[in-house]
A and B are shown apart, each in its own frame.
Chain A
Amino acid sequence: MNAMKNSICEALHELKIFQDILTDYPNKYFGNLLSKIIDINTIPFSLITMSGGHMSQFDMEEDFETSYFRIESVDRTKGHVVISLLRPLDLEGNITNSRGHLFRLEKTDKIKTIDVSLISAVQPLTIELLKRNIIIEPKW
């Protein structure tokens, strides 16, 4: 595995550790207080390809494309990572491919395995994207 591939693998592994801490980090006195405070189990990120663009993945079943992911597992030996797709939604709850219209991300169970040799950088995003909520009023 070359140095770049190794670094990407390490970076994604680190992200996975952080994410696991958010999900489950029991302590002696306060138990899983951190998880309760953060109330989120995903650190969303984008992947930058060797050509400098954002990597997109397509889900045939639900017919949507996204460049936002959640890390599920890292195989440092093979240089593969398993990611799940985050559904990009605009204010109205419609799927959007425009970064300008992105309002929130929604977890899915759509899984992809990525060869990290295709990746040049990992760009973590704000966890707020998974927490954002919208109220549509009035409710008639």
Chain B
Amino acid sequence: MKTIVFIGSNKFGTSKEGLTIAKDMGYFVVLLTNRMLHKEFLEVDQIVYLENLVDEEHIKEEITNLIENGKQICACISFVDPYVSFAAKIAMYFGLAEISVEALNIMENKIKIREKLNNLPITPLYAVFQSDDCQEGFIKKNHIIFPFIIKLPISNGSKDVFYIDTLKRFENAVSILNRKLPNSPLLIEEYLPGAQYIVEVLVYKTMCSIVGVIEQEVAYDRKFIVTGYKFPALLDETVSKKLTESVSSIVEEIGLISGSCHLEMKLVQSQWKLIEVNPRMSGGAMNRILEEGTGINLVKEIIKLYLGEEPILKETRKQFVYARYVTVGSQGRLVKVLGYDQAWLHEGVKYVHIKPVKGDILSSPYSMGNRYACVVATSETAEQAKKNALVAAKEIKFFLIPL
């Protein structure tokens, strides 16, 4: 039986869609997970619970057991940090499609990637803060100018990214991050103002394709929370050309021959700067955004890539898409949600997702995980797509009991 093994999955979004799409493609779907989430994964044929999802020997053993039980393993994939390069490594061990394991591995470490791309103009000023460095001395020695950004080298989302504008905040952030990952070096980067974009990239046998460029709308309250995604990003020809060149140079320098990734780029005074690169497609509603806008199901094409097949990135439609994420401004226990059905009734709405369930504690956002609903809408114009999504999102109401 043709089988695809997935390592890790979230309850919704890209990784969850990966499971559904693999099932629709006719594969026997096996999910290796360290979460007790069985009832949410009805599309999965077999769930294997493992406490440690990067226990290489254990995972090889589990896959060998599957093979001995008659499963023909066709791919081993992960859409979830930090298992992407690990899954590719396992795939390589079992002689499956060749994915650029080393390149994916570099992308999983924010310091490694800065060092790798140090010579490219897309790299902002950065420095590495060691856990035993003195904050004040470090700033002087490296001529660091406020404000700047500090982050953990291995992390995703915004929860471990801090905007620093004073020495006191620098000390606090170091203390928080040190508690989180003791003795880890920390990445310090210049703060770059400007519009931020996501670039979804697929590389097949060195052929680099930009599947989509999405403009992000970031809400800032000491944390960077993306609340809006506009697709396609409206870029003029010169800027667009520069972006293609920048992305090609990054992919080439990293050595990504086959695989997918997404880049977070900022346009600063007409120059592209790399904020982050992650060795996987963006999570959340990104597949919906791209599919509504282009007709391309990127998750499916990535699965094909991992199966050793050539991905087909042919646009079958062109629509403007806007995704709006909903956050709350107060903390409380969720007792009721209204507006899901009403949101669907609005023009152009293609996707509505409410994340929390009754009893969950909601709070104002300190990470992307505190975005509690998402509405994706389309239209013939960018303005109308945004309008459609906003009107629908405004239907959603969370009823909270204050704590």
Q: Which residues of A contact B (CB under 8 A)?
A: 91-92, 132-140
Main secondary structure of the interface of A (DSSP, over half): loop
Judging by beta carbons under 8 Å apart, are B329 and A137 in contact? yes
10 residue pairs A–B, Cβ–Cβ below 8 Å: A91-B335, A92-B338, A135-B400, A136-B397, A137-B329, A137-B330, A137-B397, A137-B400, A138-B396, A139-B329
Main secondary structure of the interface of B (DSSP, over half): strand
Q: Distance (Å) between the CB of B258 and the closest chain A CB?
A: 42
Judging by beta carbons under 8 Å apart, are A138 and B328 in contact? yes
Total number of B residues with any Cβ neighbor in A under 8 Å:
18
Q: How far is the CA of A39 from the CA of B362 in the complex (A)?
A: 26
Q: How far is the CA of A12 from the CA of B364 in the complex (A)?
A: 45
Q: How far is the CA of A133 from the CA of B329 in the complex (A)?
A: 16
Judging by beta carbons under 8 Å apart, are A136 and B335 in contact? no
Within 8 A of A (CB), among B329-351: 329-330, 332, 335-336, 338
Chain B residues in 8 Å Cβ range of A91: 335-336, 399
Chain A residues in 8 Å Cβ range of B328: 137-138
Q: How far is the CA of A91 from the CA of B332 in the complex (A)?
A: 14
Which residue of A has the minimal Cβ distance to B338?
A92
20 more contacts with CB within 8 A, not counting A92-B338, A136-B399, are: A91-B335, A91-B399, A92-B336, A132-B401, A134-B335, A135-B330, A135-B332, A135-B400, A136-B397, A137-B328, A137-B329, A137-B397, A138-B326, A138-B327, A138-B328, A138-B329, A138-B396, A138-B397, A139-B329, A140-B394
Cβ of B70 within 8 Å of any chain A Cβ, yes or no, is no
| Binary flags per residue of B4-25, CB closer than 8 Å to A gives 1, else 0 | 0000000000000000000000
Which residue of A has the minimal Cβ distance to B336?
A91
Q: How far is the CA of A84 from the CA of B398 in the complex (A)?
A: 32
Which residue of A has the minimal Cβ distance to B390?
A140
Cβ of B402 within 8 Å of any chain A Cβ, yes or no, is yes
Judging by beta carbons under 8 Å apart, are B326 and A134 in contact? no
Judging by beta carbons under 8 Å apart, are B401 and A138 in contact? no
Q: How far is the CA of A86 from the CA of B399 in the complex (A)?
A: 22
| Binary flags per residue of B197-224, CB closer than 8 Å to A gives 1, else 0 | 0000000000000000000000000000
A133's contact among B394, B398, B401, by CB below 8 Å, is which? B401
Q: How far is the CA of A91 from the CA of B326 in the complex (A)?
A: 21
By CB atoms of chain B within 10 A, which of A138, A139, A140 has the most? A138
Judging by beta carbons under 8 Å apart, are B362 and A137 in contact? yes
